[in-house]
Amino acid sequence: MTQLTPSLPTAPDQVADHPRVVRALLNIAHALDHLFLLIFAAAVSTIAADMGLAKWQDLMPYGVGAFFMFGLGALPAGRLGDLWGRRSMMLVFFFGIGSASILTAFAQTPMQMAACLTLIGVFAAIYHPVGIPMLLERSAKPGATIGFNGLAGNLGVAVAALLTGFLIQWQGWRVAFVLPGVAAWVCGWVFARACPQETSAPAKRKGGAQVHLSAPMLARAMLVMTAAAVTSSVLFNFMTNGNGPLMAERFQGVMEDPAALGLLLAVVYAVASVAQVVVGYLINRFALKRFFMFMVMAQIPMLVLASQAQGWWLFAALIGVMVFIFGAIPFTDFMIARYVDDRLRSRVSGMRLGVSLAVSSLSVWALGPLVKAMGFGSSLLLLAGFSVATTLILTLLPSEGQASH
């Protein structure tokens, strides 16, 4: 891998970063975003039994609406973020997703659950095209900012597994939706008080891309990035929604306590989350294309190993799988920060997320039926094929020599 230039400069008018409490809340929002999307997956076995279904696989397809809207909703959310204001959209995020989560606690049937989860997805769609560009709009070190933000988001994945397991044992699955909802309300109140009003919407500010590509190269980069994001999101959605049931199945006879398994899964996500911080600090030091391809290719042997492993060997394999899945996440946000004018970032991010997450939401719908028909072993081998496809797609990414600073 070749050595590249140091950190990217910020635009001239971006002289001061957001207040520390605002940056902290924007990172906490990322954690909450992923937490809310995975409460259902962590509690699906308990909810299925409570609603009279024989197997968790029968309830899992009802969660697809959340992930479909998580993708589709990014399109209008990104547009509103640029044209209306990112601060205002983040307030809608905090109060909206908190209310939707509390409402989900009152669901009595699978269809009611599906409707409530879809509403969670509508508000969850706001964060990525709005919150991340808001963090980056004044950042002097975008790679490090994205890496730490990714850590926060994936700690939300870890907390979802851990917190939901303990809350189910303590008070039941409904409380697992209520408490995070109240936490989101509190964060929204603090954010409203701490974040200064925007003087103008992002679309009306002066700006410029940090690194310039020709129009054809930029279009090619965005197309490749979106295609790679689709296949990568399939892996992310399948694994984060399926790891809980996978560990419950493969740890039978070794450990079967839901809270203990939730703790182990939280450890997997916490360790893997550190990879995003490491990638964030290294992303400016290595050739972007080769580094990205390395992180994706490394997923393949890890998925093959996980497809066959049992018990503690599965635990070790899942750490490897999630390290490289999580480690590949910062690249697309970094590319948008590098190649796209800040005035357009929320809309470009929204378009990319809208396509990739809406398509990859089908992996959530297919998780239950696929595992029921093929088993986890064959399903994980199929996912390894998606990593191969992502690697091939990335060969079309423009090289560093085709960009100008």
Q: Write down the residue that tokens 């199929």 correspond to.
A: 382
Q: How far is CA 269 from CA 43, 115, 154, in A?
A: 17, 28, 7
Q: Do 36 and 43 form a contact (C-beta atoms < 8 A)?
A: no
Transcribe 201-258 into DSSP letters.
Answer: -GGGS----SSB--HHHHHHHHHHHHHHHHHHHHHHHHHHHHHHHHHHHHTTTT---H
Query: pLDDT at position 307, please?
Result: 92
> Closest Cα to residue 317, out of 373, 250, 375?
250
SS3 404: strand
Burial of 51 (0-12, 13-18, 19+ CB in 10 A): middle
Each residue's pLDDT expressed in tens, for the chain with a length of 405 residues: 333 333 333 443 444 678 889 999 999 999 999 899 888 888 888 899 888 887 877 888 888 888 888 878 888 888 888 888 889 999 999 999 999 999 999 999 999 999 999 999 999 999 988 988 888 877 777 777 887 888 888 778 777 777 887 888 888 889 999 999 999 999 999 999 999 887 766 666 655 545 555 667 777 777 887 788 788 888 888 887 788 888 888 888 767 677 788 788 888 888 888 888 888 778 878 887 889 899 999 999 999 999 999 889 999 999 999 999 988 887 877 777 776 766 666 777 777 777 676 666 677 777 777 887 888 888 899 999 989 988 998 888 876 655 544
Query: pLDDT at position 29, please?
Result: 95
How far is 254 from 249, CA to CA, in rounded Å?
10
Query: pLDDT at position 350, please?
Result: 75
> Closest Cα to residue 278, out of 154, 363, 395, 401?
154
> Closest Cα to residue 326, out of 167, 204, 148, 178?
148
Q: Do 210 and 8 form a contact (C-beta atoms < 8 A)?
A: yes
Between helix 345-360 and helix 362-394 the angle, nearest 10°, is 120
CATH class of the domain comprising 20-402: mainly alpha
Residue 178 in tokens: 């209520």
How far is 101 from 326, CA to CA, in rounded Å?
25
Residue 147 in tokens: 């890496």
> Closest Cα to residue 78, out of 146, 18, 126, 144?
126
Using alpha carbons only, what angle is made at residue 73 by residues 70 and 76, rounded to the nearest 5 degrees? Answer: 155
What are the structural domain ranges in the chain? 20-402
Q: Write down the residue that tokens 């039978």 correspond to.
A: 252
Transcribe 317-336 into DSSP letters.
Answer: HHHHHHHHHHHTTHHHHHHH
Q: Do 390 and 232 form a contact (C-beta atoms < 8 A)?
A: yes
Residue 116 in tokens: 């409530």
Query: pLDDT at position 3, please?
Result: 37
The dihedral of CA 122, 135, 355, 362: what is its sign? negative
Q: Left (φ > 0), alpha (ψ -120 to 50) or beta: where does 390 sit?
A: alpha
* C-alpha torsion 348→354→359→363, nearest 10: 110
| Direct distance between the N- and C-terminal alpha carbons of the chain, in angstroms, rounded to an integer | 20
Q: Do 63 and 114 form a contact (C-beta atoms < 8 A)?
A: yes
User: Which residues touch 292 (CB under 8 Å, ≥6 apart)?
Assistant: 228, 328, 331, 394, 397
